[in-house]
Amino acid sequence: MRSRYSAYTLLREDYLLATWHASTRPAQLDLAAEAPSKWLGLQIKRHEQQDEGHAVVEFVARYKVAGRAHRLHEVSRFMREDGRWFYVDGDIQS
């Protein structure tokens, strides 16, 4: 999760796509077209390995857009294939 957060802060679409599970991976990302964000930090609230091939990570990422603070609170699902973890999807928390 931390590496994916870092990739978002650096607009590293190649890394994000490479670590996204093929079953849910978008064809492309266009992060540069979105409103510029200033990422402020990542807090991992919990992580739980459900079995050898599945895990969840709950996190809060803080950022600013046009000087206004926002937070993204998500419970993400990951799947392990060939020894590597891939982001599958997530549920936004309120």
Q: Does domain 2-92 have CATH number 3.10.450.50?
A: yes
pLDDT of residue 94: 87
Give the model confidence (pLDDT) of 54-94 as tens digits. Answer: 999 999 999 999 999 999 999 999 999 999 999 999 999 98
- Confirm if 48 and 68 have CB atoms less than 8 A apart: no
Comparing CA positions, the residue from 75, 77, 74, 76 lying closest to residue 53 is 77
- The rounded distance, in Å, linking the Cα atoms of 43 and 65 is 19
All structural domains of the chain with their residue ranges: 2-92
Model pTM above 0.85: yes
